[in-house]
Chains A and B, each alone.
Chain A
Amino acid sequence: LKSTPSDPPFHERRRAVRLLPGTPGNDGILDPRFGKKVFKLLPGDFFVTRRDEILTTVLGSCIAACIRDPEAGVGGMNHFMLPTAMHDSGAWTGNAGNANRYGAFAMESLINAVLKLGARRERLEVKLFGGAAVIPGMSDVGARNIEFVRDYLATEALPVTAESVGDVTPRRVNYLPRTGDVLVRRLRLVTRDSLAQREREYLQTLAREPVSGGVELFGS
């Protein structure tokens, strides 16, 4: 068997451009109001911690799932949206279509990361945020993201204990995994334009990238 070298997945390539939260050089920023370190997440990121820290992100139509195990004291957050085909194609929709596979990947990456830090699946509690209609002319993007993540969590039998989703206003979410507390601030509509632009770019990047992580066959 021939071994085929594979490109690193899209996330790793994109993330290499900036320092990931929690990696050396990005050790968070101390927030004097809370006296805790704050880690900022951008679209496509996820971050998990065992420490008493704050995870923060700004959401338009994207989703942030906040997942923690209260007993293990471990929690994390992701920030993602489903890719959509810029040209309609059967590969994008349906049961194992690109959109579902990418969304499941984003959720599973976060869940695996909290499990690795000692969380137990049966103790996980989930809070959901985002999915607002912020991109002009693409009002269904947020709704689609909400529908996906609810379906996914129902299939995985993971309970949603709190949520703030939908509507038209962007949200700033501050999550404290240690306590499970979430501070959500609805943002003024002026922030919508720049946010919509960022999300449109994120969507375009997702549409260009193949939803595939690569294959390597081991020679014997």
Chain B
Amino acid sequence: VPGAGRGTAARVAADRRGPEQYGVWRMASLILAVDDSASMRQMVNFTLKGAGYQVVQATDGVEALEYARGNAVDLVLTDVNMPRMDGITLVRELRALATYRYTPMLVLTTESSQEKKMQGKQAGATGWIVKPFNPDQLLATIARVL
């Protein structure tokens, strides 16, 4: 896979093998990417898909929460400032669900204040990434927490 990040290439290769050939068959991890900016969603989607991940996009916390409730998501990558429901509230709501107790949730935001970071940590976020994001750094962080 061109542009595959370290740690993801093996996972992508595994997808192509059927369960009959291997004992364990694993799909590429599904990432729920949440951002109200269409440009940001495009760039994140491009970066993650290039590394072999499956991506579902949501435009705000409400939409993301609705999707996550009905589908098993492996990782949540969310912006903070969004209409209807912000990213910190989204993380808090998801953490309250039994199925998302241990799911990695990364915040990707223009907010770099210590105060906001602490709010994110208290809500249950796994990590905090400040924009502009560096694609290699983003992929390395995702591979580390998945």
Chain B 99-127 against A: per-residue CB contact (8 Å), 1 yes, 0 no?
00000000000101000010011000111
CB distance from A174 to the nearest CB of B (A): 27
Cα A100 to Cα B135 in complex, Å, equals 12
Chain A 1-17 against B: per-residue CB contact (8 Å), 1 yes, 0 no?
10000101100100000
- Report yes or no: A215 in contact with B126, Cβ–Cβ below 8 A: no
Cα A197 to Cα B64 in complex, Å, equals 47
- Report yes or no: A156 in contact with B132, Cβ–Cβ below 8 A: no
- Report yes or no: A215 in contact with B127, Cβ–Cβ below 8 A: yes
Known pairs A108-B110, A213-B112, A215-B137; A155 contacts B39 (CB<8 A) = yes
> Contact size class for A?
20 to 34
Residues of chain A with a CB closer than 8 A to B18's CB: none
Which residue from A9, A96, A116 sits with its C-beta under 8 Å from B112? A9
Cα A6 to Cα B133 in complex, Å, equals 13
What residue in chain B is nearest A116 (Cβ atoms)? B81
Cα A105 to Cα B111 in complex, Å, equals 11
CB distance from B49 to the nearest CB of A (A): 10
- Report yes or no: B110 in contact with A121, Cβ–Cβ below 8 A: no
Chain B 77-92 against A: per-residue CB contact (8 Å), 1 yes, 0 no?
0000101000000000
What residue in chain B is nearest A104 (Cβ atoms)? B39
- Report yes or no: A104 in contact with B43, Cβ–Cβ below 8 A: yes
- Report yes or no: A12 in contact with B112, Cβ–Cβ below 8 A: yes
Q: Does A50 contact B (CB under 8 A)?
A: no
- Report yes or no: B132 in contact with A212, Cβ–Cβ below 8 A: yes
Q: Does B46 contact A (CB under 8 A)?
A: yes
CB distance from B1 to the nearest CB of A (A): 16
CB distance from A153 to the nearest CB of B (A): 9
Cα A111 to Cα B125 in complex, Å, equals 24
What residue in chain A is nearest B37 (Cβ atoms)? A108
Residues of chain B with a CB closer than 8 A to A112's CB: 81, 110
Binding site for A on B (CB under 8 A): 36-40, 42-44, 46-47, 81, 83, 110, 112, 117, 120-121, 125-135, 137, 141, 144-145
Binding site for B on A (CB under 8 A): 1, 6, 8-9, 12, 95-96, 100-102, 104-105, 107-109, 111-112, 115-116, 120-121, 152, 155-157, 210-218
